[in-house]
Structure 1
Amino acid sequence: MKSIDDDFQLKDEYDFSKGTKGRFYKPKKVSTTIRLDDDILMFFKKSATLLKIPYQTMLNDVLRKYVTSHKPPL
């Protein structure tokens, strides 16, 4: 019987120049409790409703953009 691995050969080099970085990355969601000012929470809830997305998803996106655009304090 022929094995699946019989015809498989590794190349010496592979071209990943057209690959997508982080394509299969899915961050782990963690449940937490935070205290926010009412006006901030209402802003995100109303904005998310208009955009038809969950407000927690919108908060997460805003925080992720902030984190990726700022260096951590020393």
Structure 2
Amino acid sequence: MRKSYDFSNAKPNPYARLLKRQVTIRLDEPTLEYFKNLSLEMTIPYQTLINLYLRECAATHKHLRLAWETPKGSKPA
């Protein structure tokens, strides 16, 4: 191993923009269990499956159909 290295001719990594970024996300238990069980079937880490699903949603511009429900016994605003 050298004592010093010359990086003056180094080029930026062309794949750096493709790297993943670590984020914290809160998932409900049934959703997490779904992806964990699916990961066992497919032998892929569940984090990778979640990323693949979200990537596909973003690539296809998938729109969510949200239907907010009010808790039982409460009145809508």
TM-score, length basis structure 1: 0.58
Q: 2:20 matched to 1:29?
A: yes
Q: Distance in 1 between matches of 2:57 and 2:15?
A: 19
The AA in structure 2 aligned to 1:33 is T
Q: Deviations over 1:4-32 (max 9, x none)?
A: xxxxxxxxxxxxxxxxxxxx857211111
Match runs of 1:1-74 below 5 Å: 27-70=18-61
Distance 1:71 1:46, change over 3 A: closer
Q: SS in structure 2 opposite 1:63?
A: helix
Unaligned runs of 5+ in 1: 1-23
Aligned residue pair count: 49
Unaligned runs of 5+ in 2: 1-13, 64-77
User: Segments of 4+ in structure 1 off by > 4 A?
Assistant: none
> Once superposed, what is the RMSD of the aligned Cα atoms?
2.2
Q: Which has the higher helix share?
A: 1
Distance 1:32 1:50, change over 3 A: same
- Return the offset for 1:51: 0.5
